[in-house]
Chain A
Amino acid sequence: MPTASPISGSITLSEADSKALLGRFGVPLAGERLADDPDAAVVAADELGYPVVAKLNGERIAHKTERGLVRLNLADADAVRTAATDLLGAATAADGQVQVLVAPMLRGNRELIAGLSKDPQFGMTVMVGIGGIFAEALADVAIRLVPIERVDAEEMIDELRTQALLGPFRGEPAVDRTQLADVLLGLSRAAVATPELVSADLNPLIVVDGLPIAVDALVEVQA
């Protein structure tokens, strides 16, 4: 059975499926592999290069961090094998079909959040904001109605209060605003092309050398 959601009759896609859906519309993603068992996870990590991240992937797994289903900064094959074994072991019957998702460990001091959500009055909206652990406390976000044009995306980025985080920051270059606008335009196109879409989170979008890359994605669709 699908994951229960506040919007009745909706289900969440697995991280891999969420990324596949949004990736088609140009949302930048870290290259990643799905592995059915620890050996396959090690093969995937070897191909991607270390360090890597391992996460439990499945349609009914929405809040991985809260459940401890994300293992960061795995430096070698042994670490990947251990992590994959633990993750698969942590899956419960309720999680249904699961796999291990292996992705490169991206480094960046800044995290953004972007996504889509359906407003009861105004319909589908697209959002960008400052991400990371303070995202909801800061609530520094900009929202527009889908569809948006490039000028809207640019204005959304300009509207964020914490502009200092978008400039050159702790030895990293400024956030590439064109690329970030591309992410928002991609989300907007994804929403237009996917009427059954209810919400989408790119959380976090890690800023790597100024480029925003989605390292997690969660898409909710009408069942």
Chain B
Amino acid sequence: MATTEQFRALFDPRGVVVAGASTHPGKFGFVALHNILANGYEGRVFATNRDAAPVLGIETVPSLDDIPAGEADLLFVCTPAVTNLDVLRSAAERGIRAAFLASAGYGEAGEEGRRAQDELVALAEELGILIVGPNGQGLVSTPSSLCAQIVAPYPPAGRIGVASQSGNFVSSFMNYACATGVGISRAVSAGNAAMVGVTDFLAFYAEDAETDVALAYVEGITDGRRFFRELSDVAERMPVVLVKGGATSGGARAAASHTGSLASDDRVFDGMCRQAGAIRARSIEEAYEVAASFATQPTPRGNRVAVVSTAGGWGVVTADAIAGTDLELLALPDDLITALDAELPPRWSRNNPIDMAGGETKDTIPAVLAIVARHPDVDAIVLLGMGIQSNQGRMEHDGPFFPEWGLDRIAAFHDRQDHRYTTLAAELSEELGKPLLVATELAVTFPDNAAVRGTVEAGRLCYPSSNRAVNALARLWERTQWQARRHG
């Protein structure tokens, strides 16, 4: 059983050794060292190379025995499987407590590989070293500016802890983090999970002061009951978002009972997640968005949603999306309607979705947003139609008439306004402890739009559509309910 101290050695090491650093830029042993050096890691970096050839400006040594003791906590292993038992023994003598093995040739490689893997684990346990992998992509830890992995990217810092049975999906989640700005605290690919698997990392994240939400991808589960217990334990303490690959691969089951034939793998897994209190996402992008929502939005205290829009159609579709969830489109109370009457032109919707009908002054949107957000009946807000004016400003800026005809002033004005609106949205959300989700396709079509930037700079996810915002909010509410039913 891995200790918290070992996980700290893995994620926040004082120094790192790359075993098997290579001068060939196509080799893992080069890429791993490159990525550690290129992303701001501040601890000491050592590397071994059979010929002691310098790599990327690092003087390498032929053996781990040549590395000063007590300077490094983490070993990143790119050496061939046959040499790794010796590598581990030397590492333990140098005071290293954790090793990530990118090396292949273990459990994934037939009977002989499985034997080698068992030997590796037995030795690691004897030496008190945590083994992660083998056959994994690596790990990332933004609090330590550590990018110890054999692939890009390095994500922005944030509060999401990722653990995955597939390294590819660690990359996918981190690519989403790069694209949206909602960052990652720790990320790790479990590889063959010889010693520790996904739930072990989740258990560490539940204790980790740097992590607020766990995000996991799983495929095969060897011990279902143990998985359930560990998942329950983590979900009790922290939101867990989970995607399962291969959930539908199990065919219809031969069973004597109707119950047995209805209890498909997928439905059992689904029920297990609900019972454990984990949020099961249906796709990688949903998983990321829901995790990003847990990481950046306050917990909803109720399910009554106000939809605030600068124009009609978006609000209507959003109301439809809400109708398909456990969320409720709040029927506007009279005092809220009266308060909004004072701010909006007579043609406003006087209904939820709150369609501001365009005719606003420069302070209308902030005023309306504050009134709605502060109303005690409103539990959450979905804000739509931000960034339209600054998108027009972009066209004017890029067009043939700029900056004449006052286009420079108007474009700058719209940028300021849109940025102000979404900045205020985040501030209100923070102050009031209510989810306030900004949704616009500009998040993907023109991510440098001022409204999008206002949201992203506030550390929030700018949802690419209102349906996706509503779904994320519904999943936050799902957890609130799960907790309320169990802990009152």
Q: A residues within 8 Å of B by Cβ? A: 3, 5-7, 10, 12, 62, 113-119, 121-123, 125, 127, 129, 135-136, 139, 141-145, 148, 151-152, 154-156, 159, 198-201, 203, 218, 220
Asked if A136 and B272 make an inter-chain contact with CB atoms under 8 angstroms apart, the answer reads no
- Residue in contact with A218 in the complex, picked from B253, B257, B267, CB distance below 8 Å: B257
Q: If the complex has contacts A10-B256, A125-B268, A143-B271, are A117 and B221 also in contact, measured as CB distance less than 8 A?
A: no
Q: B residues within 8 Å of A by Cβ? A: 221, 224-225, 228, 253-263, 265, 267-272, 274-275, 485-486
Bound-state Cα–Cα, A9 to B401, Å = 84
**What are 12 A-to-B residue pairs whose CB atoms are below 8 Å?**
A6-B256, A115-B260, A122-B268, A122-B272, A127-B259, A139-B267, A143-B263, A143-B270, A144-B274, A155-B274, A200-B257, A220-B257
Shortest distance from the beta carbon of B326 to any chain A beta carbon, whole Å: 9
Bound-state Cα–Cα, A119 to B265, Å = 8
Asked if B258 and A200 make an inter-chain contact with CB atoms under 8 angstroms apart, the answer reads no
Residues in A with CB closer than 8 Å to B268 are 119, 121-122, 125, 143, 145
Residues in B with CB closer than 8 Å to A141 are 262-263, 267
Residues in A with CB closer than 8 Å to B261 are 136
Residues in A with CB closer than 8 Å to B265 are 119, 121
Residues in A with CB closer than 8 Å to B254 are 6
Residues in B with CB closer than 8 Å to A118 are 260
Of B228, B259, B261, B275, chain A has the most CB atoms within 10 Å of the CB of B259
Asked if B262 and A136 make an inter-chain contact with CB atoms under 8 angstroms apart, the answer reads yes
- Chain B, Cβ-Cβ closest to A6: B254
Residues in A with CB closer than 8 Å to B257 are 115, 117, 199-201, 218, 220
Shortest distance from the beta carbon of A79 to any chain B beta carbon, whole Å: 29
- Residue in contact with B263 in the complex, picked from A125, A148, A218, CB distance below 8 Å: A125
Residues in A with CB closer than 8 Å to B269 are 122
- Chain B, Cβ-Cβ closest to A131: B258
Bound-state Cα–Cα, A118 to B260, Å = 7
Bound-state Cα–Cα, A135 to B261, Å = 11
Residues in B with CB closer than 8 Å to A115 are 257-260
Residues in A with CB closer than 8 Å to B271 are 125, 142-145, 156
- Chain B, Cβ-Cβ closest to A118: B260
Residues in A with CB closer than 8 Å to B274 are 144, 155, 159
Asked if B263 and A127 make an inter-chain contact with CB atoms under 8 angstroms apart, the answer reads yes
Residues in B with CB closer than 8 Å to A220 are 256-257
- Chain A, Cβ-Cβ closest to B223: A121
Bound-state Cα–Cα, A113 to B257, Å = 11
Bound-state Cα–Cα, A113 to B259, Å = 8
Q: If the complex has contacts A201-B257, A220-B256, are A121 and B221 also in contact, measured as CB distance less than 8 A?
A: yes
Bound-state Cα–Cα, A217 to B24, Å = 68
Asked if B485 and A145 make an inter-chain contact with CB atoms under 8 angstroms apart, the answer reads no
Residues in B with CB closer than 8 Å to A142 are 271
Shortest distance from the beta carbon of A10 to any chain B beta carbon, whole Å: 7
Of A6, A142, A151, chain B has the most CB atoms within 10 Å of the CB of A6
Q: If the complex has contacts A143-B268, A145-B228, are A117 and B260 also in contact, measured as CB distance less than 8 A?
A: yes
Of A116, A154, A201, chain B has the most CB atoms within 10 Å of the CB of A201
- Chain A, Cβ-Cβ closest to B262: A141
- Residue in contact with A6 in the complex, picked from B255, B272, B275, CB distance below 8 Å: B255
Instruction: Beyond A116-B259, A143-B267, list 12 extra A-B contacts (CB 8 Å).
Output: A113-B262, A115-B260, A117-B257, A122-B224, A122-B228, A125-B268, A127-B259, A127-B262, A136-B262, A143-B268, A203-B259, A220-B257
Shortest distance from the beta carbon of A173 to any chain B beta carbon, whole Å: 24
Shortest distance from the beta carbon of A218 to any chain B beta carbon, whole Å: 6
Residues in A with CB closer than 8 Å to B228 are 122, 145
Asked if A117 and B224 make an inter-chain contact with CB atoms under 8 angstroms apart, the answer reads no
- Chain B, Cβ-Cβ closest to A139: B262
Asked if A121 and B486 make an inter-chain contact with CB atoms under 8 angstroms apart, the answer reads no
Bound-state Cα–Cα, A12 to B275, Å = 29
Residues in A with CB closer than 8 Å to B486 are 151
Residues in A with CB closer than 8 Å to B221 are 121
- Chain B, Cβ-Cβ closest to A5: B256
- Chain A, Cβ-Cβ closest to B486: A151
Of B221, B257, B274, chain A has the most CB atoms within 10 Å of the CB of B257
Residues in A with CB closer than 8 Å to B225 are 122-123, 145
Shortest distance from the beta carbon of A114 to any chain B beta carbon, whole Å: 8
Q: If the complex has contacts A142-B271, A151-B486, are A12 and B262 also in contact, measured as CB distance less than 8 A?
A: no
Residues in A with CB closer than 8 Å to B272 are 122, 143-145
Of A121, A127, A136, chain B has the most CB atoms within 10 Å of the CB of A121
Q: If the complex has contacts A135-B262, A141-B262, A145-B272, are A121 and B256 also in contact, measured as CB distance less than 8 A?
A: no
Residues in B with CB closer than 8 Å to A10 are 256
